[in-house]
Structure 1
Amino acid sequence: MSFESRTPSAPGAPRAPRTPRTPRPAGSPRLALAVIAASALMAVLDGSIVTVAMPSIQSHLGFSPAGLSWVVNGYQLAFGGLLLLAGRLGDLLGRKRVFLAGIALFLAASAVAGAATSPAMLVAARFAQGVGGAASSAVSLGILVTLFTEPRERAKALGVFAFTGAAGASIGQVLGGVLTDALSWHWIFLINIPIGLLTLAAAVRVIPTDRGQGLRAGVDVSGALLVTGGLMLAIYTVVGTADHGWGSSRTLGLGALSVLLIAGFFVRQATAANPLMPLRILRSPGVAAANVVQMLMIAAMFAFQIIVALYMQRVLGYDATETGLAMLPAAVAIGGVALGVSARLIAKFGARSVLITGLAMLTGALALLLRMPTHANYVRDLLPTMLLIAGGGLAMPATAGLGMSGAREQDAGLVSGLYNTTQQVGAAIGAAVLSTLAAGRTAHLLRAGHSPAEALSSGYHAAFMIGVGLLAVALIVAVFALRDAPEQDAPTPTPTPTPQTASALDLVLAPTG
């Protein structure tokens, strides 16, 4: 039954947007959750697999060091720049339709990437992967909102996603090395095809069909161009700081232009009849603060996600497979906490209290890394951090719930897109700041005559210190700015796995000078 208004409109009056039809159940919500989790797994694998295969890709396709960074940057630009727009399109066109289109595009682009014979072909395919990944990731959150309406069930679904992300990251690090060594780098992209085909076939059957609000409800072309251009330019500027520096005319000029575009977007939203992002969303208690917390947390966790892995390989001499296995306890700890206890703790103590606890654990985990020596023992020096990082299994679900607090159901895709956008911006900023700092410190010590191991170790310690500082700021924001945020009866988004950013590559390829 349609709930559209049948009241005649006055001549010349704008037509009222139709009320979205309640999604038609297409199967078990748990099966639908499995499908959405599989799509998230592809995104995680795509991010973590690529990093370990970079040297092989460079040698086979003849990439320059600067050009090779665009294997990661191309995906990052498209993914981070289009999440907000993709989320809104899901609300307007139907989330299932946009989800299926995103998976299909991601699959096609993966096939092209796997068959790439030139740098340009691979970079173009990676950009297309980012477009498809943004579409499927942004709307999957809105789909979950309609599938799981009871807070406890929604929290459990969120735990499944956190577990999928944590497990997928470690699987990707191990699988990337195995596939590259046993077969070739092409298979790090081709592995997406069987997963994606099964996901696509199942999604057609089990994802609820929704009609959306219709394009008349919010087609703000000017706003879409401003925010997409501004976000892409901002990410492009940040990931380029590793080569050009933060104070260069290029960085300052492009950064100023991206700020102007984003500011123009907000001005447009305040005056547009059908804004792409109604500003009332940001006035909801907790939404803005939770997004700030998430941005800081994700930026800081780059120090663990990438730099710890680089420490093990470049300083301790681990190979790619050993590194993946060494990181496995962290994935199990995060996933186990998110899947096993986060929902119960949030229900009992509230999302803000759980978030504060999780951030405190993460801060402690990175602080332990400040004492890690050049000749570290895994059990004594690394394993405690791997276990304490379980705080992420508390912080991510709690931040997600607060980030969606006060959102209306018709805005679920948009607010989810906003939440995921700040996640990508945080990842880009963390990669640029921490990797640039670490590489600069390492190069300075190498010029001063220190050994490569000592120089690398000191550079990574500097990155860990900045990570601790970012988490401390996030903790302060959580304590004071989220005091009045609602913690119940709000749709809960799921953190989207973060693609690895380009500056991580710069650390892998050139940390020794």
Structure 2
Amino acid sequence: MTACLGLFISALNTTMTAVALPQIQQALMASPTQLQWIIDVYLLVVGCLLLTTGRLGDRYGHGRVYMLGLAIFIAGAFAGSVTDSAVQLIAARGVQAVGASVLSTATLSLIAQAFDKRTERARAIGIWTAAMGLGQIVGPTAGGLLADTFGWRSIFIASALVALLALLLCWTVLPKMKATRAEVSLDIKGQVLTTVVLTAFLYSLIEGQEWPWSDLVLWLAPVAAAVGAAFLLRHSGTTSNALIDVQLFRRRRFSSPLLLAGLMFFAFNGFQYYNSIYLQRVLGESASAAGLWMLPSAVAIAASAPAAGNWCAARGARLPATTGALLMVGGLMILAFAPERPPALTLAISYIAIGTGLGMANGPLSMTVMSAAPEERSGSASSILATSRLIGGALSVAIVGGTVNIYLKGTSETDSGWSQELTAGLHLGYIVVSGTLLCVVLLTRRSIPAERADDRKT
């Protein structure tokens, strides 16, 4: 269970920061783009480094790398608590993200190595997913209370203290697991190309919402992403021990659930990020009240994840994964077609459907991806899986933010119709992300195993 601490800390930090965004914006005079970068820099840095940190775990042992990640995360959290500008906070979040990239890959790799039988692994991954739900439960509530009582800086201090306790515990009880693949290179060229592709692509999405597209930089960014992607694919296909193992993607039972797992977070993160702003700016809730409103979703994740793990072990991954994805689509569609100020019951039903969907699908999809990869490549498989989730989440924040900015363009918060325009932009964003998820579910569901875990070859 020590491995679950990393996912809990990552979820705790993300949700606490999301709840405090309105306070951060007012205190640091952050622009809408800077506010998005406070979230997206975390997702971007984690996404860029996940592949490398997974390789480091394969080479030096996931236990040692895990504790190093906790130490780096602590440093970034303490730095965030003393910043006095949005730019400094973005930089501190970047440092946090370096540590979080290690936690994201090491936790799942530790579980995959600790449990040989797939039925046990499925149940363990269900509990691992529930740890994220627990972070979702504690994060909004604790973050809102801390922000309202002590100010937004207290959420970074709290994150650092929790991570420090986790580091002390891991130092005492975490076994020193040996690397499963000692002779692996870090593939610096692959890492540089990956960083260029992801940074350029996301930069064009975020900055394109405020900068005019007549600016040359915004045209160069997607071009750089496309050219970098071409070189990355060529490099990965011709280099032994490349950062991205293309052999894994040729397995449909790896690539299809990987895509669906990324899109589950593509749908969830846009909702999570902007729903906090909606609750506070449109419905007039305080930060702590907004955190309490998110509890149904978080409780649903924590409650459904262990059950989905048992279901996956007994009946296979297809049914819980597809059912979870369809519940996510349904919950987002309820929000998309709700009025500006919907009844409390409508919000609660949609939040529970979204949380239950993520809790049901995430574990079985993770189990399928990890089982499709050889044990000696568990670090690479875990890092690719985490990268798909993080990049999906970053893209959703940018895309939903883009639809919101389309409606808010030329208006200010003091205008009478501002809240209606914000709500309309959110509704369009929810339709886009849920529609994309629905299409991918229908296209990939047959590639997800329907048989029991013990019926497949180990």
TM-score (norm 1): 0.81
Q: Deviations over 1:144-198 (max 9, x none)?
A: 1111222232222222222221231242222222212211222111112321122
1:293 paired with 2:296, answer no
Distance 1:192 1:216, change over 3 A: same
Which of the numbers 61, 65, 88 marks the counterpart of 1:98? 65
Matches for 1:103-502 after TM superposition, within 5 Å: 103-212=70-179, 216-244=183-211, 249-339=216-306, 341-379=307-345, 381-389=346-354, 390-443=356-409, 451-482=417-448
Distance 1:173 1:440, change over 3 A: same
Distance 1:75 1:386, change over 3 A: closer
Counterpart position of 1:497 = none
Counterpart of 1:320, as a letter, is A
Q: How far is 1:342 from its partner?
A: 0.8
* Counterpart-to-counterpart distance in 1, 2:419 and 2:194: 43
Which segment drifts farther, 78-87 or 466-475?
Answer: 466-475
Q: Deviations over 1:265-318 (max 9, x none)?
A: 221122223322332111122211112212222222234323333333232222
Q: Give structure 1 stretches of 5+ with no counterpart.
A: 1-32, 493-513
Q: How far is 1:328 from its partner?
A: 0.9
Distance 1:355 1:245, change over 3 A: farther
Structure 1 SS opposite 2:365: helix
Q: How far is 1:490 from its partner?
A: 8.6
Q: Deviations over 1:323-372 (max 9, x none)?
A: 22122112112211112x21222123310122111112222212222332
Structure 2 SS opposite 1:400: helix
Counterpart of 1:405, as a letter, is S
Contact 1:441 1:462 (8 Å CA) reproduced: no
* Counterpart-to-counterpart distance in 1, 2:5 and 2:186: 30
Q: How far is 1:130 from its partner?
A: 0.8
* Counterpart-to-counterpart distance in 2, 1:186 and 1:307: 21
Contact 1:443 1:455 (8 Å CA) reproduced: no
Contact 1:299 1:470 (8 Å CA) reproduced: no
Structure 1 SS opposite 2:424: helix
| Structure of higher CA gyration radius | 1
Q: Deviations over 1:24-64 (max 9, x none)?
A: xxxxxxxxx1x222222221122121223334334544555
Counterpart position of 1:25 = none
Which segment drifts farther, 191-200 or 236-245?
Answer: 236-245
Q: What percent identity do the matched residue pairs reach?
A: 27
1:72 paired with 2:39, answer yes
Q: How far is 1:454 from its partner?
A: 2.7
Q: Deviations over 1:345-402 (max 9, x none)?
A: 21233101221111122222122223322232102x2122123221222111122122
Counterpart position of 2:11 = 44
Which of the numbers 39, 48, 57 marks the counterpart of 1:81? 48
* Counterpart-to-counterpart distance in 2, 1:74 and 1:458: 26
* Counterpart-to-counterpart distance in 2, 1:315 and 1:302: 19
* Counterpart-to-counterpart distance in 2, 1:126 and 1:483: 38
Q: How far is 1:408 from its partner?
A: 0.8
Structure 1 SS opposite 2:294: helix
Contact 2:144 2:288 (8 Å CA) reproduced: yes
Distance 1:452 1:428, change over 3 A: same
What do you get for the CA RMSD once the two structures are aligned?
2.9
Contact 1:366 1:468 (8 Å CA) reproduced: yes
Structure 2 SS opposite 1:243: coil
Contact 2:10 2:100 (8 Å CA) reproduced: yes
Which segment drifts farther, 245-254 or 319-328?
Answer: 245-254
Q: Give structure 2 stretches of 5+ with no counterpart.
A: none
Q: How far is 1:214 from its partner?
A: 6.6
Distance 1:407 1:326, change over 3 A: same
* Counterpart-to-counterpart distance in 2, 1:245 and 1:364: 35
Residues paired across the two proteins, number: 456
Counterpart position of 1:28 = none
Contact 2:46 2:100 (8 Å CA) reproduced: yes
* Counterpart-to-counterpart distance in 2, 1:382 and 1:216: 52
Counterpart of 1:289, as a letter, is S
* Counterpart-to-counterpart distance in 1, 2:214 and 2:427: 23
Contact 1:359 1:475 (8 Å CA) reproduced: yes
TM-score (norm 2): 0.90
Counterpart position of 1:508 = none
* Counterpart-to-counterpart distance in 2, 1:214 and 1:146: 12
- 1 or 2, which has the higher helix percentage? 2
* Counterpart-to-counterpart distance in 2, 1:306 and 1:54: 9
